[in-house]
Amino acid sequence: MLKFKGSLKISGDKSISHRSLIIASMSCGITKITNLLESEDVFSTMNILKALGIKIKKEKNKWEVYGNGTCGYMEPHNTLDCGNSGTTARLMLGAVAANPINCTFIGDKSLSRRSMSRVTDYLKAMGNDINLTRKDFLPIMISGNDNLIATEHEMLKASAQVKSAIMLAGLNIHGKTVITENKPTRDHTERLFKYFDINFKIKKIKNGGSRIELIGPYEIKSKNIDVACDPSSAAFFVVGALITPLSNITLKDICLNPTRIAYLKILKKMGGNIKINKTKNICGEDIGDITVEYSKLHGIKIDSHISPLLIDEYPILAIAACQAKGKTIMNGLSELRHKESDRVKSIVSNLKKLGYDITVKQDNIIIKGKENIKLKKQKIRSFNDHRIAMSFSILNIIFEDQLIIDDEKCINISYPKFKDHLNKLLSK
């Protein structure tokens, strides 16, 4: 059997890449971005910004963004295509909201089934005129307005995308915009705001949530950005090394943002031999190296309160769970049903097909680990979901290449170099 060996620097973080492009476009001056993730999702954001009049070009290994300020977008001549990217759709709706332009956002078949009212309800409360397809979906027509009302918003669902959309809109609103989130979510937007010297306040509240206050409008000066490597992409190789005998790897310069590496705590709790070495801080994010060795994992219970911090890692955590001794219970997975696929269904149907004992109770998944599954050719449905495709590509190492994944092209949505990086880490 192949094993994971060696060290690797993986691609730039997807969440930070989206936000870097958008905030750079709203600044004044030229921002040079290093290690930007060059994936389909990120290019969707880049192409929309270009359609809004933002000059973006690549010089050697850096992307240059010529910012037009917080109210500098031009009305586009065509529809704005978000592709498969929910981050693009939701963040760009917020970014254009306080610009006096009309925009129509579209997306692919998968994205057009994902809820957008969770963002647009807040934008409507500010004063935007918005029309959604069937009251919830793309295509969406939005009329921007540079006289939006400064409003207080309480997040009804934990969502970094929705929070970020409101924050981006608030950059060009006259007065105080307040956002209260009762559960912690990814804070890359807040960190980039601080890095760009945007003067706003954050106050921690009970349950780990926060209250964010912005007093706009702002003038933002450009700053160069170095994008840290993606911890969610690292998760696939971390789990691969943990479940594959004789494996030992080191992943370099990974973003160690606490809202992004909760999965490492889960894997350690399952018995994973994982060491984290923080090395430096770049652009407001701590980064470092993650060293992983093969380990005998055991099942655990994952409580629902941590669910918002594991939303992208549950598919690969399910792969770890199926190789662990005993039972793993994942609670509170309702948000997984609204990603690129219904990930509860995608995980459960594929693992059942392979012979694993896995059950669903409402929005909870129970997986009984089993090491000795009979190897035979099986077709895996990716459901056009990049994280499902990558997760079962990792399990395929254990299955000695017996799994046939129906659509590996969808991996390009978030991690075009995944196969190359996987092959670099694999050895006999």
H/E stretch holding 18 reads helix 14-25
In a domain, 9, yes or no: no
Strands (E) in 43-128, as ranges, are: 55-59, 62-68, 80-81, 102-106
Per DSSP, 272 falls in state -
Domain presence at residue 4: no
193 and 239 both lie in a single domain: no
- pLDDT of 132 reads 97
Alpha helices in 208-302 (DSSP H): 231-243, 262-269
Residue 7 covered by a domain? no
Can you give the residue range of the structural domain that contains 413? 228-427
Its pTM stands at: 0.95
Name the band, by pLDDT with cuts 50, 70 and 90, for residue 370.
Answer: confident
What one-letter code names the amino acid at 210? Answer: S
312 included as an active-site residue? yes
Q: Among 188, 216, 244, which residue terminates a domain?
A: 216
**What pLDDT shows up at residue 221?**
98
Query: Do 252 and 212 sit in the same domain of this protein?
Result: no
pLDDT above 70 as % of the chain: 100
CA 1 to chain centre: 32
Of 157, 188, 216, the position where a domain reaches its end is: 216
Residue 313 lies in a domain: yes
The per-residue pLDDT of the chain, averaged, comes to 95
Sign of CA dihedral 55, 59, 61, 66: negative
CATH number at residue 81: 3.65.10.10
Residue listed under structure tokens 């060059």: 38
pLDDT digits (tens, 9 = 90+) for 113-143: 999 999 999 999 999 999 999 999 999 999 9
Q: Stretch 92-104: mean pLDDT, rounded?
A: 98
Q: Are residues 270 and 209 in the same domain?
A: no
**Is the domain of 203 the same as that of 330?**
no
- Is the pLDDT confidence value at 338 over 80? no
Domains identified in the chain, total number: 2
**What digits encode the pLDDT tens for the residues 11-45?**
999 999 999 999 999 999 999 999 999 999 999 99
**249 contacts: CB under 8 Å, gap ≥ 6:** 4, 5, 6, 7, 8, 237, 241, 291, 292, 425
CA–CA distance, 161 with 94 (Å, rounded to integer): 10
Residue at 413 is within a domain: yes
Rounded to whole angstroms, how far apart are CA atoms 199 and 195?
10
What is the C-alpha to C-alpha distance for residues 272 and 249, in angstroms, rounded to an integer? 13
- 221 forms beta bridges with 28
Judge whether 242 lies within some domain: yes
- One domain, residues 313 and 203: no
pLDDT of residue 217: 97
pLDDT of residue 237: 98
Entry field: residues in the chain: 428
- pLDDT tens digits for range 239-286: 999 999 999 999 999 999 999 999 999 999 999 999 999 999 999 999
* 181 lies in the same domain as 112: yes
With beta carbons less than 8 A apart as the criterion, state whether 12 and 52 touch: no
- Domain boundary residue, one of 216, 241, 261: 216
Strand partners, 177: 214
* 91 shares its domain with 112: yes
> Which residue of the set 13, 108, 312, 385 is catalytic?
312
